[in-house]
Amino acid sequence: MKQHTVTDSPYGPLTLVAEDGVLCGLYMTDQRHRPPEESFGERDETPFGVAIDQLEAYFAGELKEFTLELRLNGTEFQRRVWDQLRRIPYGETRSYGDLADALGNAGASRAVGLANGKNPIGIIVPCHRVVGANGSLTGYGGGLDRKKRLLDFEGAAALF
């Protein structure tokens, strides 16, 4: 059973989605690959207290690593990429090539980029921390402006 709620953030409203009480989605407005609203289930804040508390602490600069149970629905490869995203420390960036190398497949940069773009739990699974090989900003489902603002907020040393 799915449920959802909407919470405010410095980056606009965030839609949180849970499946059987476990967070499975965090979507920004106008986000690429955002599922249709009718797939989010009933509106109910019950399963989201800890997630909202941690997001508020993150946006206040008090939390650098989320400790939420997540349900990452995707292919095996996508889940491996998303696991690597969670290993990128706060305030740091990695390139698509770095992630491909970490997965043991140096030639998979493009596939890593596609999986990164379909990350269903933005911010908490920090796909915004992935940049181009030369440190430049590259695509972000929430828009490049949001990506830059998130990286600036974290103090990430990207060359954009």
State the CATH number of the domain containing residue 40.
3.30.160.70
Does residue 71 sit within a domain?
no
Does residue 45 sit within a domain?
yes
Which tokens go with 96? Answer: 């698509």
Who has greater pLDDT, 142 or 126?
126
Q: Per-residue pLDDT tens for 47-86?
A: 999 999 999 999 999 999 999 999 999 999 999 999 999 9
Residue 150 and residue 99 share a domain: yes
Number of domains in the chain: 2
Does residue 25 sit within a domain?
yes
Residue 46 and residue 103 share a domain: no
Q: Per-residue pLDDT tens for 88-139?
A: 999 999 999 999 999 999 899 999 999 999 999 999 999 999 998 888 888 7
Does residue 70 sit within a domain?
no
Residue 137 and residue 90 share a domain: yes
Looking at the predicted structure, is the pLDDT value of residue 160 above 50? no
Q: Per-residue pLDDT tens for 148-158?
A: 999 999 998 65
> How would you classify the pairing of strands 22-28 and 42-43?
unpaired
Mean of the pLDDT values across residues 28-57? Answer: 94
Q: DSSP letters along 2-34, please? A: EEEEEE--TTS-EEEEEETTEEEEEEETT-TTP
Looking at the predicted structure, is the pLDDT value of residue 33 above 90? no
Residue 146's Cβ-count burial label (10 Å; 0-12, 13-18, 19+) is: buried
pLDDT at 70: 98
Please give the positions annotated as active site: 127
> Are residues 31 and 21 in contact, defined by beta-carbon separation less than 8 angstroms?
no
Domain containing 22 equals 2-59
Does residue 94 sit within a domain?
yes
- Show which of 13, 34, 59 is a domain's final residue: 59
Does residue 159 sit within a domain?
no
- CATH (domain of 83): 1.10.10.10
Does residue 66 sit within a domain?
no
